[in-house]
Structure 1
């Protein structure tokens, strides 16, 4: 009997050790940017795309609304002649003209203000409540409304406000810039702190990650091949002085999660360990029953 159980227990310990090693590697992969100045551009752009898709429309946002018909043809003020978004119409038009397709004809930007009551005034469909919706949800809603007037409409919306992206321990957040003089501390405060305001709400298994105040990265010009990366340590006096650093539109602030290794590994392997232990228990019970029946 002991000769049978010992190999099984040895195999069980080997499996648990392998799972722990794999979970450590899996956890380490969650650290997005390693080193003082290193940035994985592909991962950064993918993270920003995910954040933007989940952005919730808020009052005072400016939306660039583009409407197409027949699944591709531009119909929204094609010649730039209609006063869509004029201040007198309850919405606001910003920006100048842009050239489309490299040709000389110019198409005016159709940007509309989300008013304090959460509604936006659009041509033909009039007032539409969009606050609380993601951009994809707003696209679907407007597409349904414009289907009354056009065949197979296709709508895209984009927020054109100046904003800052906060990644890492606070979760992906888009912070609108309320003024042109915002600094790092203001942005972190609006994001809920280095841990996203969850320092008192996390569970023992680390479902909410605590951020590292000594590992805050400001990434600028991330669309370039060589973005500028500055590491700020808020645990020192020198770092606090850097915290007054002026934040520019489209800056990325990455707050590295604290490596609570034990809880993270335990959370990763708990379901697998439970399955392995259940299987091992069933095998041992079966072996004992067979031996008792002999």
Structure 2
């Protein structure tokens, strides 16, 4: 009776260990769905969410500038620009791309043919466009200026289906847009703790957003700035999956120990 009881106890402990190991690799459905509290949120609260603010131009940005005048030849001369390499992928997820544009130097200036250097750092693209239009108006009648970022880049890392650096044609980009480009989070992504790293005038800023909560719309980090980095942390299920070999080894060792204990008890 004592030997059988001892054997059953070891078997029970082993089964308990297996159940715990399997449990640790399960992902709770409660942590997968986005904006779970959206039905409980007052509509007025959503309407008061932080509005989009235009990003400002910084040193090392690359600007696409096109100036159109009544004289096609003069427009060609003004729009001369060197091919400037920009790090990162594009919306097609290529490893690298070549962007044509004007590089903002360390003094915050770009240099346009016939016009000279213009300081644009600290301005929005709209303000820079108006400034260039005023400068060009001194030489040409009613010029049309088009200006946008040529290297508006965000990086998405961690537990997403397609991690990469993405160069975007649009300045108004939210964290949801960036995650969509990256193929959304994997089942192992920690949705309640997404990290954003932002470079603000040489200083690093950090924020953590909870995709399960509608409070994300009230965050100043909901809309991204150029060169933002998004990192999706793996959850415990991913850690367990990565350690599957260790769990399997531990299970085998536990089985061997159980057999040895049982064998020793039989010979007593």
Normalised by the shorter chain, which TM-score bucket? 0.3 to 0.5
Whichever of the two has the greater Rg, that structure is 2
TM-score, length of structure 2 as denominator length: 0.39
TM-score, length of structure 1 as denominator length: 0.36
Which structure has more relative contact order (CA 8 Å, sep 6+)? It is 2
